[in-house]
Homo-oligomer: A and B are copies of this chain.
Amino acid sequence: MTVTTDVRDTIAALRRQVADLHAELPRNQLVVWTAGNVSARVPGRDLLVIKPSGVSYEKITPDAMVVTDLDGVLVDGELSPSSDTAAHAYVYKHMPRVGGVVHTHSTYATAWAARGEAIPCVLTMIADEFGGEIPVGPFALIGDDSIGRGIVETLREHRSPAVLMRNHGVFTVGRDAKSAVKAAVMCEDVARTVHISRQLGAPVPIEQHHIDSLYDRYQNVYGQEPAK
C-alpha cells in the first residue's frame, strides 16, 4: 500500500475515534464479552478501520485497530480483523454515503430479530431517528457476502439506519462512525421500550404523515449548527 502522509494522519485519527467509540458499546449495555464492533470508512480511499477479532474491550487501543480494504483483506495492523469485517466492507462498497458501521447483539433488538419481526414506529423517537419501522434482514451465514448483501438490500428499501438480521443481531450505518453508534444506542432503546409497551397491550400507531413530519424535522433541525 502506498499512502501519502495525509492519509496516514487520517487513518491515525480514525484509529483513535474507532477505539474510543468502542467504549460506548459496553457503556450503553449493547455488548458482552468481546461481541460487537465499530468501523469507519477512510474517506476517499477503499479502506476501513475496524476492531480486531476476539479482543476484550479493556484492551482496545488505537494501535490495536486494524485497516483492511473493501474486500476485508488486512492492509495494516498486527491482529486479525473482526470476523464481521466482510459484512462491514460489503456495506462500504455498496453504500457510498455510509461512513460508519456498527454491529451488536444488543438484547432487545436481537430478541425482535430472533422472531424475525420489525419494530413498529409507535414512538416519536422512532419517527425522528428511523423514519419508520426498523426492518428485518434475512438469515445469513458468516463466511461470504450473505450478511453484507442482506444488510444492503434491506436498508435500501427503508429510511432506517438500522437493520435487525434474523436470528443474529443488529447492524447500523451512519454518515460517520459516531452516527452509526448513536443509531445502535437508539435502536436498542426503542426496541426495549416498544417490547415493554407491547407486553401489556397494543401501542397506539402514529399516523404516516406525522411520522414524515417528525423525521423531516429531526433530520434537518435538531442539534447544533455544524461549526463553520
Contact = CB atoms under 8 A, between A and B. Distances in A.
Interface of A: 28, 32-33, 35, 52-55, 79-80, 83, 105, 107-108, 110-112, 114-117, 122-125, 139, 141-143, 166-169, 182, 185-186, 189, 192-204, 206, 210, 213-214, 217, 221-225
Contacts of A35: 125
Contacts of A79: 224
Contacts of A204: 114-116, 139, 166-167
Contact of A199 (B166, B168, B195, B203): B195
A74 to B, nearest CB: 12
A206 to B, nearest CB: 6
8 contacts: A32-B186, A105-B123, A105-B189, A105-B193, A114-B204, A123-B168, A141-B210, A143-B217
B114 A194 contact: yes
Contact of A107 (B122, B169, B189): B189
Question: Which 9 A-B residue pairings sit nearest by Cβ, starting from the closest?
Answer: A54-B223, A111-B197, A114-B203, A111-B196, A114-B197, A124-B168, A32-B189, A115-B201, A116-B204
Given A124-B168, A222-B54, A193 B114 contact: yes
A195 B189 contact: no
Contact of A196 (B33, B53, B108, B186): B108
Given A114-B203, A115-B201, A200-B195, A124 B167 contact: yes
Contacts of A143: 217
